[in-house]
């Protein structure tokens, strides 16, 4: 088993400024703080991958920038031009919603992230590695063709999926999004496309506002090929395990994709400031095992995980390490926080959680 891994130092230079999501105004007593999506959290994850020795079991895949043609498979020329223009300004710009500021040079970094998603997908599809984790930054899963949103500039996972279909001869793709926020970008981009199954498990109505409801199921020829699992607040490892066993695994089994892509956010973690779920490293291992086994069943194991959100600088590195260990089938380090984070309760499947998951599970029967 060989697992690809990708990180570039420049991802750690994505400048998100201060404030913007939280108020920052010294004049009225709102203390400035780094933006919640400051790249240090992901840089720390990369450092743990290295210092733990896990890196010695992984195959480094070289980052490379996405071309204009590759970005244009998802985004409009006008949007890309705006990002390029604002990225040349001394103080940068914003991806589109006012909470997604970026500094000078952001286009180059975001295009490298999107191109790296493609590079990892090519490495997996060509068989150079069996599966892979691309620790890209900034995130991408909220970005739409004509605008960025929720800290995202270019939709990395959608760009990788479009590339796999256009250039790599991959016919059926499943995108599983376990970031705690809804994977609205891929849902919208592939809404009418039955050759891309999109499954998003997220906290109900966390972000974007009123997005990711259970009755959003794709449109036209894509009807049934989008499944949302909007988890109630307070779901722990038990609820996530049940969702993996009752919906994610069976949906992938029924659809039988040739390639599985994952929008891998670690913000369902129990220490995350932007959401109210209780997932520990055990939960991320369960999710990872579910997609590994599904990819093995229909896709010759072809599986690519792309980094999305995750905002606890303490816990995200251990969540990432546990996930990549499971991908690679090697174990170098236990989660030292599990006794604390996992010992606080909240991990048994509750009836209201089961009821919601069961509603999504009923949709699996409609997949062909």
Is residue 249 near Zn ion by the rule CB under 5 A? no
Give the DSSP per-residue string, 122-191.
HHHHTTSSSEEEE--SS--TT-BTTB-BTTBSS-HHHHHHHHHHHHS----EEEEE-SSS--HHHHHHTT
Q: How far is the CB of 170 from Zn ion (least distance, A)?
A: 26
Is residue 344 classed exposed, middle or buried when 0-12, 13-18 and 19+ CB atoms within 10 A define those classes? exposed
Is residue 142 near ligand 6DK by the rule CB under 6 A? yes
Q: How far is the CB of 145 from ligand 6DK (least distance, A)?
A: 16
Distance CA 74, CA 70 (A): 8
Sequence-distant (6+) residues with CB within 8 A of 348 are: 236, 238
Tell me if 151 sits within 8 A of 142, measured CB to CB.
Answer: yes
Q: Using CB under 6 A, which residues numbered 223 to 282 contact ligand 6DK?
A: 265, 267, 274
- Of these partners, Zn ion, ligand 6DK, none, which one is at the site of residue 150 (CB under 5 to 8 Å by kind)? ligand 6DK
Q: How far is the CB of 185 from ligand 6DK (least distance, A)?
A: 9
Is residue 201 near ligand 6DK by the rule CB under 6 A? no
- Binding mask 143-182 toward ligand 6DK (x if CB under 6 A, else -) reads -------xxx--------------------------x-x-
Tell me if 247 sits within 8 A of 357, measured CB to CB.
Answer: yes
Tell me if 224 sits within 8 A of 217, measured CB to CB.
Answer: yes
Q: Which of 142, 163, 181, 182 is catalytic?
A: 142
Distance CA 257, CA 196 (A): 8
Distance CA 63, CA 5 (A): 10
Question: For 86, how many CA atoms within 13 A lie in the half-sphere containing its CB?
Answer: 19
Helix (H) or strand (E) holding 230: strand 226-231
**DSSP, res 218:** -
Is residue 283 near Zn ion by the rule CB under 5 A? no
Contacting residue, 44, 75, 141, 282, with ligand 6DK by CB under 6 A:
141
Q: Which one, 179 or 258, has the nearer CB to Zn ion?
A: 179
Q: How far is the CB of 54 from ligand 6DK (least distance, A)?
A: 23
The reply to whether 142 belongs to the active site is: yes
Neighbours of 40 (CB within 10 A): 12
- Of these partners, Zn ion, ligand 6DK, none, which one is at the site of residue 142 (CB under 5 to 8 Å by kind)? ligand 6DK
Is residue 14 near ligand 6DK by the rule CB under 6 A? no
Q: Using CB under 6 A, which residues numbered 32 to 51 contact ligand 6DK?
A: 37
Q: How far is the CB of 40 from ligand 6DK (least distance, A)?
A: 14
Paired tokens of 333: 């380090």
Is residue 179 near Zn ion by the rule CB under 5 A? yes
Q: Which one, 178 or 318, has the nearer CB to ligand 6DK?
A: 178
For 80-120, give the secondary structure using H, E and C: HHHHHHHHCCCCCEECCCCCCEECCCHHHHHHHHHHHHHHH
Q: Using CB under 5 A, which residues numbered 297 to 356 contact Zn ion?
A: 309
- By CB under 6 A, name the binding residues for ligand 6DK: 21, 37, 99, 139, 141-142, 150-152, 179, 181, 207, 265, 267, 274, 308-309
The residues that are catalytic are: 142
- By CB under 5 A, name the binding residues for Zn ion: 179, 181, 265, 267, 309
């Amino acid at each position: 088993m060989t697992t690809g891994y990708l990180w570039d130092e420049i991802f750690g230079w994505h400048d998100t400024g201060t404030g913007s999501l939280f108020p920052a105004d010294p004049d009225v007593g709102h203390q400035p703080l780094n933006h919640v999506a400051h790249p240090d959290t992901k840089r720390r994850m990369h450092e743990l991958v290295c210092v733990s020795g896990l890196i010695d079991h992984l195959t480094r895949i070289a980052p490379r920038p996405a071309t204009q043609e590759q970005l244009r498979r998802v985004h409009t020329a006008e949007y890309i031009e705006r990002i390029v223009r604002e990225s040349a300004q001394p103080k940068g710009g914003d991806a589109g919603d006012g909470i997604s500021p970026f500094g000078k040079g952001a286009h180059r970094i975001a295009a490298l992230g999107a191109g790296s998603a493609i590079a990892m997908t090519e490495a997996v599809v060509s068989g150079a590695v069996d599966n892979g984790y691309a620790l890209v930054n900034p995130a991408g899963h909220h970005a739409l063709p004509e605008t960025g949103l929720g800290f995202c500039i270019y939709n990395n996972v959608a760009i990788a999926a479009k590339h796999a279909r256009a250039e790599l001869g991959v016919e059926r793709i499943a995108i599983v999004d376990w970031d705690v926020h809804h994977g609205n970008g891929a849902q919208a981009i592939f809404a009418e496309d039955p050759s891309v199954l999109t499954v998003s498990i997220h906290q109900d109505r966390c972000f974007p506002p009123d997005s990711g409801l259970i009755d959003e199921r794709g449109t036209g020829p894509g009807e049934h090929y989008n499944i949302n699992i909007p988890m109630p607040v307070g779901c722990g490892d038990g609820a996530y395990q049940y969702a993996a066993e009752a919906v994610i695994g069976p949906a992938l089994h029924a659809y039988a994709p040739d390639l599985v892509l994952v929008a891998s956010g670690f913000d369902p973690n129990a220490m995350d400031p932007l959401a109210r779920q209780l997932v520990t490293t055990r939960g991320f291992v369960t999710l990872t095992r579910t997609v590994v086994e599904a990819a093995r069943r229909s896709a010759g194991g072809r599986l690519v995980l792309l980094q999305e959100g995750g905002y606890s600088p303490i816990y995200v590195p251990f969540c990432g390490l546990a996930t990549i260990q499971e991908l690679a089938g090697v174990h170098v380090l236990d989660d030292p926080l599990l006794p604390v984070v996992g010992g606080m309760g909240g991990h048994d499947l509750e009836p209201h959680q089961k009821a919601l998951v069961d509603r999504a599970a009923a949709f699996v029967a409609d997949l062909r």
